[in-house]
Structure 1
Amino acid sequence: MVSERGLDVLRAIVHDYVASREPVGSKSIVDRHAFGVSAATIRNDMALLEEEELIVAPHTSSGRVPTDKGYRLFVDQLADRRPLSSAQRVAIEQFLGESVDLDDVLSRTVRLLSQLTNQVAIVQYPTFSNASVRHIELVTLAPSRLLVVLITDSGRVEQRVIETGAPVAPEVVERLRTAIGDATVGFSIAEAAAALEKLPAGVDAPMRDVAVLVTDAVIGQLGHHRQDRLVLAGSANLARTEDDFRGSIFPVLEALEQQVVLLRLFGELQSDAFGVTARIGRENAAYGLSETSVVVSDYSTAGETARLGVLGPTRMDYSNNMAAVRAVARYLTRLLGES
């Protein structure tokens, strides 16, 4: 059983090790923290922490570093649940508030979160299974080139250029625009896709080939709303912390590249009472990420919930990262709810 002072010693070890990456000894704890006891007493506390497998000596006669179990206890009981500073909150609002559409806001989100935490930032696209089509526009860019613009009621905008291979008359473009709008606007993503699959068979033969090209493009755009996708930023931060990985960082880089692994991991996580959760070290072994920690929170838009978070080595600033992830998720929910 760990005493209250022992827990305070563990907190000090975590803070000092995260800050310095150097094993923490009893003398440095006495020098840096106001425990009011001798180094010998702190050594006894550290011995008890080691017996509980909360800290470990990486080398003979060295100081101690937290174990995965120690980090877990720190996150669950000892981490400061502090809010971001007012300056950080203003920066979030200003930077994300300049976004022009969903793609832009999610891109800005991961860039901002990476800067706030110095970790790899990840955001999951909402699937928008409940979204509906607000508008579809068909624009002539050149005689044989069309631009298809899809807008959903969630604010998502998709654009795609189509090469028709032959000039398309303006009246054909207008008739297609009207037919596609009638078949999709106001309908759900799934309903619109089903209607478009049947549309080419119902148009005049001279415009059928173009109708196939256009409807295929729109169906592809609609399909993006039903696929799980991730946006990432800050992978270079892993290189800066490469020494924190006892083995190689390549399995982590592969997991980032193969998004299906992260999507499975995100799918299992549930936010705690503070709106954020962390998976630490060996808890991620099933995903090949046993030397990493993941901090995640939920955000909502258009009735759908998705997740955002950060990934990095187990030696991370959990208090700051949890505060940043939670704050960005809350602001993102508010921002998307207003769009």
Structure 2
Amino acid sequence: MKLSVIILNYNVRFFLELCLKSVEAAIVDIDAEIIVIDNNSEDDSCEMVKQLFPKVTLIENKENFGFSKGNNIGVAQAKGEYLCILNPDTVVTEDTFTRFLEFCYGKGNLGAVGCKLINGVGEFLPESKRNIPYVKAALKKIFGNSSEYYANHLTKDATGKIDILVGAFMFLKRDVYNNVDGFDEDYFMYGEDIDLSYKILKAGFQNYYLGDTTVIHFKGESTLKDKNYARRFYGAMQIFYKKHFKKNIVFDMLVWFGIRLAYLFRTAKNKQNKSVSQYVFISNKNNKSLEAILPKRLLLNNKIIEFEPQTEIVLDANHLSYKEIVKILENYTNSSSWTYKILPNGSNFILGSDNALSRGEIIQF
């Protein structure tokens, strides 16, 4: 088997359904399997997978093992030559995996490969490509200066060598993953992608970033950005430095102090109230059921034109390919404060996420 797509889920049933539909469209011509590991979700994620995706291998954990152990459990059952570690709050395009397999073919010393990630309104996510978070760069990042933290030697559209990838999308050979013992289970959530990327580099492999391949990552879905997030995130950073950069007491105290100070003074941004002036349905036919539950009339259009500010655009995956949907978000990001929802093919809900501070919006009809 060529590819195993590993998706760890926790309480994001609707985002998982959209993700799986996009993945199924992307593996049509590939000898591939999809493995979903559920970390004891309280929603009906598992029932949904069983009913709608009978070919998917579903692993139902009876407790929440966290990101690292959950993914390791899935990889242990994988048969593919290559792995794609994929968040459930992502959307891939029909040619995503084909492009990665083409890039990886015959490339020696290959480590992990990432791609351009955008959020639910098309904005580039800079964590798609990062440098090794040495103390100076990491402390500057904590206090608002990210110039050395992100891999700015590559533009967002370029392809080249980088150090650190993000766990929302990591593509690598299963042998490489096993060679470095996979994700370190000392991390429950956050930091494990930095750790894995760094272990791959230390083992003599080279990581890459593909800027000509784009995936949507609805940030904020798998966890809320609250004080618990900050505690877990900065706690993970402490684990990373202890494992890889511990040198002396002065050094350790500097790192500890910087992390604690950033946590204590971290303030959550206020989520802005969204105002929608109109809804526009990008499709080839009306959807009366959807129109009936929206607070404003749903206008039908078969392509993007110059809509008024604060338009909410609903992209119909029954009419558009996922590649076309991704391109629309990229090409029209920040256009007059437009926001977006996606109607997955064959589904009775629309969803989207406008920021990374809170869960996205799901509207069922």
- Normalization by structure 1: what TM-score? 0.23
Is the radius of gyration larger for structure 1 or structure 2? Answer: 1
- Normalization by structure 2: what TM-score? 0.22
> Larger helix proportion, structure 1 or 2?
1
